[in-house]
A and B are shown apart, each in its own frame.
Chain A
Amino acid sequence: MDSVAQRLSAVGAGAALELRGVTRLFGALAALTDVTITVRPGERRAVLGSNGAGKTTLFNCITGDFAPSSGTIRFFGEDVTHFPPYERIRRGLRRTYQISALFPGLTVQDNVYLACRGVSRGRFSFLRPGQNDALMHAADNLVQAVHLSAVKDQRVAELAHGQQRQLEIALALAGAPRFVLFDEPAAGLSPTERAELIEILTSLPAHIGYIIIEHDMDVALRVVESVTMMHNGRVFKEGLPQEIESDPEVQELYLGGGHE
């Protein structure tokens, strides 16, 4: 899918993701105020901030779960501000959810198969996939990649929490992702599972950029090259991980007070 020409044109367009003056109001409450963020193709960035800083609202605006009250969102140069979520996903945007958003009534394999089918043609197909169905193999590979092959025929409702988190990531990597939004992927994971998560994130192909919301600094700062610090719905600071980590203002706001 991702041809060299496509990637070159993406580079030509500059940013993978470009938010300009994005504001989101809920009644009188401003969840986001004038947020401007630019992320290069292939860039990996962490978004930090205390609860209520607007991190998940930011993700919801980017994926189109709801439209920003004002401002524009460009994805690889294209203005997607008023696109429905599925149009953005078909263009290579992906996301995971802080609270696993899976299909509990279906098997692991079917969950991943749906994710593969959602970004390809034949979503309305009345024909069952055969033995050599390409998407079925793609789903098999994804299930394998997140270490869920042993439980692939189990219903998702029966999975352990850690397995559900891994499936959550598999759904976001189906098809040909160009940019992924990870919303606290390490939430509730054991140290071993965290190590696996870091391995999955660092071994993603270089052209796939992402933004990760993560409270665990050990995870966040090991898998990103830049950091955006948010506070009260605004971008508070941007910089390299070590700059942000050592910034006194940030420490006061987040690292000092927020360490549980």
Chain B
Amino acid sequence: MSLAHDARVAVRPAAVTQRPARTWPEINNPAAWIVAVILVVMPLIASGFFLIEIFATTLILGIMALSLMFLAGYGGMVSLMQLTIAGFSAYMVAVFGISGNANISLGWPWWLAVPMALALATAFGTLGGALAVRTEGIYTIMITLAIGAAFYYFTNQNWAIFNGHTGINTVATPHFWGVNWRADIPFYYVVLAVAALCYFAVEYISRAPFGLALQGVRDNPRRMAALGFNVNAHRVAAYAFASFIAALAGVLQVWNYRQISPGSVSVGACIDVLIIAVVGGITRPIGPFIGALIFVLLRTFALDFLVRLGLDGNRFRLLIGLGFLAIVFWSSDGVIGLWQRWRQSQRSRDDRQGGGRGHG
């Protein structure tokens, strides 16, 4: 406590104000509970195809986009290397763990290979972040894109560790307690648990000193320095945290497909993560998951839809691109922004109707 407040408090006694508890906004939101219940009972309603190809894939992509949302939404740093960090983590699981490429994989059990992969990928992302924080705006995008592109070409050409363009196949997945954790239903729950953990961690940290300070750095880095914060250290720490989240997604991804190859870490895939985050909305952690669901649904079903219209099914990216344009054009906050504006217009219409009656 400073003497400064004490002195003025004496002039103007401060009543001890009761702050509203900084609790979870979701607790009072019935829609959040409904979504949570649906996600938990999903294996009862959805087939194996839907469970894995749609929902598990959505959640994995959502976690990757969440790591970008944390950096871009709270820190104002648009990083295009979040998929690269996830891919690096996936490669490390394959390299340290067990796979069909016995000449490369070291054969460690998953419970050793996974922490190793997470640690290395987090270190990789933190180093990349330490480079990127020396720049701002478009240059951050360029540096992280360069890291992503370099990693893609490196995996293509390096045979000793990354096995070139064929990648690493038939990666082993965990079996323990008599459960095959890559079987559809157990794997869905593993992915759901990790996604929920990441979501709530980001949500929680956004109101903790670290997250608040990050938002301060986003709004006004110079003032943050004039308040005693080491702005660059804060940014690098944000990269470290986001890298860990992306690394978790990478582990899930390599277990999902049981293989990892340069195609999964291509520049196009890096940009997909940006599109997912922006379409969903980068102002809140739920946005990336909404964006990922839209992306996966389009990718899966646009083919049939386009073929029925007599177009080439591979043009699903055309739909995504048009959707992206529409979102960026009409709502800078993505789908969440559209939803919030719709809610607001409903509310103000109700107010107006109420006011009209009052005057009558």
Does the CB pair B209–A144 fall under 8 Å? no
- In the complex, B258 has a CB within 8 A of chain A: no
**1/0 contact trace for A108-139 toward B, CB 8 Å?**
01100111011100111111110100101110
Count chain A residues whose beta carbon lies closer than 8 angstroms to a beta carbon of B.
Answer: 58
Does the CB pair B208–A127 fall under 8 Å? yes
List, in ascending order, chain B residues with CB within 8 A of A176's CB. 2-4
Does the CB pair A102–B209 fall under 8 Å? no
Contact A126/B205 with A176-B4, A205-B4 known, Cβ cut-off 8 Å: yes
Separation of A254 and B62 alpha carbons in the complex (Å): 62
Q: Name the distance in Å between A140's Cβ and chain B's nearest Cβ.
A: 5
- CB proximity to A under 8 Å, residues B40-83: none
List, in ascending order, chain A residues with CB within 8 A of B204's CB. 126, 128
- In the complex, B312 has a CB within 8 A of chain A: no
Cross-chain contact of A103 among B4, B210, B220 (Cβ < 8 A): B220
Does the CB pair A105–B218 fall under 8 Å? yes
Cross-chain contact of A114 among B4, B7, B21, B213 (Cβ < 8 A): B213
- In the complex, B352 has a CB within 8 A of chain A: no
- CB proximity to A under 8 Å, residues B201-237: 204-205, 207-210, 212-213, 215-216, 218-220, 222-231, 234, 237
- In the complex, A247 has a CB within 8 A of chain B: no
Does the CB pair B230–A117 fall under 8 Å? no
Residue of A nearest to B205 (CB): A126
- In the complex, B357 has a CB within 8 A of chain A: no
List, in ascending order, chain A residues with CB within 8 A of B1's CB. 134, 138
Q: Name the distance in Å between B53's Cβ and chain A's nearest Cβ.
A: 35
Does the CB pair A138–B207 fall under 8 Å? no
List, in ascending order, chain B residues with CB within 8 A of A145's CB. 5, 8-9, 12, 14
Residue of A nearest to B1 (CB): A138
Separation of A126 and B14 alpha carbons in the complex (Å): 29
- In the complex, A175 has a CB within 8 A of chain B: yes
- In the complex, B359 has a CB within 8 A of chain A: no
- In the complex, A207 has a CB within 8 A of chain B: yes
- CB proximity to A under 8 Å, residues B20-36: 20-22
- In the complex, A13 has a CB within 8 A of chain B: no
Separation of A221 and B328 alpha carbons in the complex (Å): 53
Does the CB pair B3–A106 fall under 8 Å? no
Residue of B nearest to A153 (CB): B20
Residue of A nearest to B223 (CB): A101
Cross-chain contact of A131 among B2, B19, B225, B234 (Cβ < 8 A): B19
Does the CB pair B229–A123 fall under 8 Å? yes
- In the complex, A35 has a CB within 8 A of chain B: no
Interface stretch, picked from A17-25, A49-57, A89-97, A234-242, is A89-97
- CB proximity to B under 8 Å, residues A159-210: 171, 173-177, 200, 203-205, 207-208
Q: Name the distance in Å between A72's Cβ and chain B's nearest Cβ.
A: 21
Does the CB pair A97–B213 fall under 8 Å? no
Q: Name the distance in Å between A152's Cβ and chain B's nearest Cβ.
A: 8
Does the CB pair B224–A118 fall under 8 Å? yes
Contact A142/B220 with A86-B225, A106-B212, A131-B19 known, Cβ cut-off 8 Å: no
- In the complex, A141 has a CB within 8 A of chain B: yes
- In the complex, B11 has a CB within 8 A of chain A: yes
Separation of A157 and B220 alpha carbons in the complex (Å): 13
Separation of A94 and B227 alpha carbons in the complex (Å): 8
Separation of A136 and B229 alpha carbons in the complex (Å): 18
- In the complex, B17 has a CB within 8 A of chain A: yes
**1/0 contact trace for A1-45 toward B, CB 8 Å?**
110000000000000000000000000000000000000000000
Does the CB pair B5–A173 fall under 8 Å? yes
Given A114-B224, A119-B227, A205-B6, 13 extra CB contacts under 8 A:
A63-B226, A101-B223, A118-B213, A122-B209, A123-B210, A127-B209, A140-B17, A145-B5, A173-B4, A174-B2, A203-B7, A203-B11, A204-B4
- What are 10 sample pairs from A and B whose C-beta atoms fall under 8 A apart? A1-B2, A86-B227, A105-B215, A115-B227, A123-B234, A124-B237, A127-B209, A128-B22, A142-B5, A175-B2
